């Protein structure tokens, strides 16, 4: 089954702690993983940031909302238990506990009133409410990122070929290849029309070299183009190459690159703009948002 959203987790979570005993967060995540019959792949699925497992994040937010509503309470670091009000809600045997149910709880309403705003501005039946705050933020981040990536590719396709070559140099140097930018710049383009567009050091000491093919394409790059590049590598007795394009590669091209002896890394347009963003090439930061959490180690020294 798909990974349940954080609202779907609320009632099963509350039911797991109805014994009134203290429960640890990690034990609840494990128990609910079994409850929802998640596969190992689903259990390990990460948020786009790669910083936290999706299901653990949703369990954490389910507990947070239940705590705001006064249905559970923290008793120690990473430990919580059900409250008397939580037991009362369970005894009413609701089919589901979600934000609609929590809005009717005085503690939840009081917490929102304290912030001077409504509990949730989004309608209960909206798909947006299935997302935790982190998921909603990361979705927005990815949307901005993809839009920026599309703009970058369009600029690369319409720019001058020499600019594209310089960008490739800057990107590879920023990623740790080629030594200095001057050395890398001299290497790119020096091979003429012998089937490669440039040669760059794999490391600063020049212990190995990587051959580069960098092409601005509109259509799909097919297998013959990769075969031609692989042949050029053999002519140079080279084992490593990078083929960079602003478009994409056919399945046959990808399969061929994976099977041959030479190691050829294929970088399509999507991966290219992703690398540019990750390395700050062609973009500037206009805003930064820091997501923080309570430092449990700090409070463990309290008193």
pLDDT tens digit sequence for 231-283: 989 888 888 999 999 999 999 999 999 999 889 999 999 999 999 999 999 99
CATH code, 261: 3.40.1350.10
Q: Is residue 105 part of a domain?
A: yes
Q: Are residues 23 and 110 in the same domain?
A: yes
Helix (H) or strand (E) holding 106: helix 106-114
pLDDT tens digit sequence for 83-141: 999 999 999 999 999 999 999 999 998 888 876 554 444 334 444 467 888 888 888 88
Tell me the C-alpha distance between 57 and 72, whole Å. Answer: 17
In terms of Cβ atoms closer than 10 Å to its own Cβ (0-12, 13-18, 19+), residue 219 is exposed
- Average pLDDT over the chain, rounded to whole? 85
Domain count, the chain: 2
Domain boundary among 127, 157, 179: 127
Coil, helix or strand for 3? coil
Residue 134 pLDDT: 84
Q: Is residue 143 part of a domain?
A: no
Q: Are residues 122 and 162 in the same domain?
A: no
pLDDT tens digit sequence for 12-36: 999 999 999 999 999 999 999 999 9
Coil, helix or strand for 91? helix
Q: Are residues 218 and 255 in the same domain?
A: yes
Q: Are residues 216 and 107 in the same domain?
A: no
Q: Are residues 153 and 224 in the same domain?
A: yes
Return the closest-CA partner of residue 217 out of 271, 269, 160, 152: 269
The model's pTM: 0.67
Tell me the C-alpha distance between 229 and 242, whole Å. Answer: 9
CB 196 within 8 A of CB 210: no
Return the closest-CA partner of residue 34 out of 67, 4, 64: 4
Q: Is residue 222 part of a domain?
A: yes
Q: Is residue 32 part of a domain?
A: yes
Q: Are residues 100 and 192 in the same domain?
A: no
Q: Are residues 86 and 171 in the same domain?
A: no
Range of the domain at 65: 6-127
Q: Are residues 159 and 272 in the same domain?
A: yes
Q: Is residue 49 part of a domain?
A: yes
Q: Are residues 18 and 114 in the same domain?
A: yes
Q: Is residue 10 part of a domain?
A: yes
What's the N-to-C CA distance of the chain in angstroms? Answer: 46
């Amino acid at each position: 089954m798909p990974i349940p959203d954080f609202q779907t987790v609320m009632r099963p979570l509350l039911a797991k702690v109805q014994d009134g005993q203290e429960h640890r967060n990690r034990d609840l995540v494990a128990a609910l993983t079994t409850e929802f019959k998640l596969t190992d792949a689903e259990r390990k699925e990460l948020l786009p940031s790669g910083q936290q497992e999706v299901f653990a994040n949703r369990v954490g937010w389910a507990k947070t909302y239940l705590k705001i509503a006064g249905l559970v309470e923290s008793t120690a670091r990473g430990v919580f238990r059900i409250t008397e009000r939580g037991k009362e809600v369970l005894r009413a045997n609701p089919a589901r506990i979600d934000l609609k149910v929590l809005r009717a709880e005085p503690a939840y309403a009081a917490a929102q009133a304290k912030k001077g705003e409504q509990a949730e501005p989004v309608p209960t039946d909206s798909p947006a409410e299935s997302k935790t705050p982190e998921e909603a933020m990361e979705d927005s981040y990815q949307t901005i990122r993809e839009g920026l990536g599309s703009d970058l590719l369009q600029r690369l396709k319409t720019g001058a070929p020499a600019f594209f070559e310089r960008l490739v140099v800057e990107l590879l140097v920023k990623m740790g290849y080629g030594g200095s930018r001057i050395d890398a710049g001299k290497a790119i383009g020096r091979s003429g029309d012998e089937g490669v567009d440039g040669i760059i050091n794999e490391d600063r000491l020049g212990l190995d070299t990587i051959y580069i093919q960098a092409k601005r394409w509109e259509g799909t790059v097919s297998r013959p183009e990769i075969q031609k590049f692989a042949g050029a590598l053999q002519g140079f007795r080279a084992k490593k190459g990078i083929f960079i394009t602003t478009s994409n590669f056919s399945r046959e091209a990808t399969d061929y690159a994976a099977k041959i002896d030479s190691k050829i890394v294929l970088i399509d347009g999507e991966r290219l703009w992703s690398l540019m963003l990750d390395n700050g090439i062609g973009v500037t930061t206009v805003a930064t948002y820091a997501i923080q959490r309570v430092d449990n180690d700090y409070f463990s020294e309290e008193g």
